[in-house]
Amino acid sequence: MPLKKIKEFCIEKTIYLSGITSIIFVVLIFVFLAREGFSLFKRVSVFDFLLGQDWYPISEPAKFGILPMILGSLAVTLGATLISVPLGIASAVYIAEVASPRIKEILKTGIEILAAIPSVVIGFIGMTTLVPFSKNALNLPTGLTAFSGSVTLAFMAIPTIVSIAEDALTAVPVKYKEAALALGATRWQSIRRVILPAASSGIMAAIMLGIGRVIGETMAVMMVTGNAAQIPQSLFVPVRTLTATIAAEMGETVQGSDHYFALFAIGIVLFIITFIINLIADWAVHRRFK
Amino acid sequence: MNHNPYRTEKIAFTILFFATVLVVLPVILIVLIIIQKGWSIISWEFLTAMPKMGMREGGIFPAILGTIYLVLGTLFFALPLGVLSAIYLTEYAKDNVLTRLVKLAIINLAGVPSVVYGLFGLGIFVMFLKFGASILAGSLTLAIMVLPIIITTSKEALDSVPKSFREVSLSLGASQWQTIRYSVLPHALPGILTGIILAISRAAGETAPILFTVAAFYLPKLPESIFDQVMALPYHLYVMSTQVPNVAENLRYGTALVLLVMVLSMNFLAIVVRSKFRKKKKW
């Protein structure tokens, strides 16, 4: 075999290997989470772990119930979804269908900047502005609440929702809109009755990915929600999310302790939740193209 | 019922407009607040000096340098892997189950929470491979996290190169790799570059993946090898705003400003590269 052929062979093999690394990494992530996380389930049942109401990881005897954190994540996610979905989709429609090309570019740049701001910076600003503001305006004992977390996270989900929903709206064939307009529909009627339904799968994907972003967000939420591991009775009390628990406590654990394993077990829960959300989003996107 | 579709349209568009303003206005406010409150402390000394007095005085040089090291390390691993992976998907992959799995894996990697990357990095690089909390472990963790960004943008860039470019090259007797190397890659380069810049910006700003893999709380000396811990800007901001009491306000805002400028300038660079590329495109 000439040298050139060998070189080409090597390059192709390298490319092939690189191509499948993504699969390897996903598997590795799961394996390494499971390796540590499953050790917990030798001592605590999965049932007690997921539905236990007490999280006292270092007391004697230790309790590893993550229900308060699951509900904390849920509360924050629900709040963030309620804010970000209507705002995000409305902005996407405005950018895709209403705004003039110049305004469109400016708005898109604004959304891109929002997407680029590091979560720790958003958390920092939330901490210094939103937290004291909501404490005073709503007359709460503390501004570090699920509500603050929801608002902060809504702004982190919005860029995801806007950009994917906008793509979906733009992907609707122009002739759909033209047909509606030719039939005498106003622009709003054509958006509402033709374009939005046609883009619904893509918008669904946008919402799912936005929710995925919210559930997985760590730093910002940790800085504004107060981190109290209690079952939330409303949106206006401190909560602690699954992600914040890992980030806040991993530094203090002893490697190989039950507490350490429990944090990895929380990682497994997060991994599975986001995995399912991404599958749904992917399914929604592919349905669109059928 | 008095129903005027044009009035409905006007109301609907006004609502849409205000929703968009509600989204974009806070972005401008965030940037302005940080500039206004952080500007006063920005000086040569702040950027190049070590922190002093338990981070309550002095500069943030080790954090800036740490972030630069981490970004370079991340690129070293993620750049070749990401671009080659994109080449595989656009040029070699057949429409089969394996390809579908690869695509699904990429989507999933993009969705894994950043703190889970942190756990993974801790489990595999810090503990299993015994790199310890180090630049190496942190860079590898960040590299896997930004991989989907590089793959997706590079793939888009490669996909946008017309098929005829490849056909001409192949018909002239070039091998597949020669075709990719000389007829496809050069045209996709700006798009790939955009993805790389966005990946850098993401890696520079993330905190959760470096929490347990590299970031040092307070380390007023510079790293000597890739097995050393470093301070990093995003973690430094987190530490100063939540863990250290009585830090002067402008010191925190100043740190946020430096981080923001680093990240946003890279994003603007990406936007410029992309728009230049769009104008230049001849096909």
* pLDDT tens digits for range A8-62: 889 889 999 998 999 999 999 999 999 999 989 988 888 889 998 889 888 878 8
Give the C-alpha distances (Å, rounded to integers) separating A247 from A59, A211, B62, B113, B259. Answer: 19, 20, 23, 12, 21
* pLDDT tens digits for range B130-154: 998 999 999 999 999 999 999 999 9
Closest CB to B256: pick one of A121, A155, A246: A121
Report chain A's mean pLDDT, rounded to a whole number: 90
- DSSP-assigned beta bridge partners for residue A56: A63
* pLDDT tens digits for range B13-39: 999 999 999 999 999 999 999 999 999
| Cβ pair B6:A36 closer than 8 A | no
Calpha distance A255→B189 (Å, rounded): 44
Report chain B's mean pLDDT, rounded to a whole number: 89
Distance of CA B12 to the CA centre of its chain: 36
| Residue B46: predicted pLDDT | 85
* pLDDT tens digits for range A265-283: 999 999 999 999 998 988 8
When scoring A25, A83, A93, A129 by the number of chain B Cβ atoms within 10 A, the one with the most, hence best to mutate, is A25
Calpha distance A26→A52 (Å, rounded): 29
Closest CB to B116: pick one of A21, A87, A267: A267
pLDDT exceeds cutoff 90 at A147: yes
DSSP string, B236-279: HHHIIIIISTT--HHHHHHHHHHHHHHHHHHHHHHHHHHHHHHH
Closest CB to B256: pick one of A21, A124, A263: A124
- Classify residue A254 by its DSSP letter: P
| Residue A290: predicted pLDDT | 47
Task: Provide the token pair at A35.
Answer: 């390796």
Please report which confidence band the pLDDT of residue B207 belongs to, taking 50, 70 and 90 as the band edges: very high
Q: Which residues of A130-162 are buried (b: 16+ CB within 10 A; e: fewer)?
A: bbeebbeeeebeebbbbbbbbbbbbbbbbbbbb
Closest CA to B110 of B146, B86, B143: B146
Question: A254, A196 in Cβ contact below 8 A?
Answer: no
* pLDDT tens digits for range A186-228: 899 999 999 999 999 999 999 999 999 999 999 999 999 988 8
- Classify residue B215 by its DSSP letter: B
The answer to whether B243 contacts chain A (CB < 8 Å) is no
Secondary structure string (H, E, C) spanning A189-243: HHHHHHHHHHCHHHHHHHHHHHHHHHHHCCHHHHHHCECCCCCCCCCCCCECCHH
Closest residue, chain B, to A18 (C-alpha): B85
Phi, psi (degrees; rounded to nearest 5) at B264 = -70, -35
Question: B150, B195 in Cβ contact below 8 A?
Answer: yes
* pLDDT tens digits for range B56-69: 778 889 999 999 99
Calpha distance B173→B75 (Å, rounded): 34
| Cβ pair A223:B238 closer than 8 A | yes
What is the pTM assigned to this prediction?
A: 0.92
- Number of Cβ within 10 Å of residue A12's Cβ equals 17
Question: B94, B113 in Cβ contact below 8 A?
Answer: no
| Residue B283: predicted pLDDT | 60
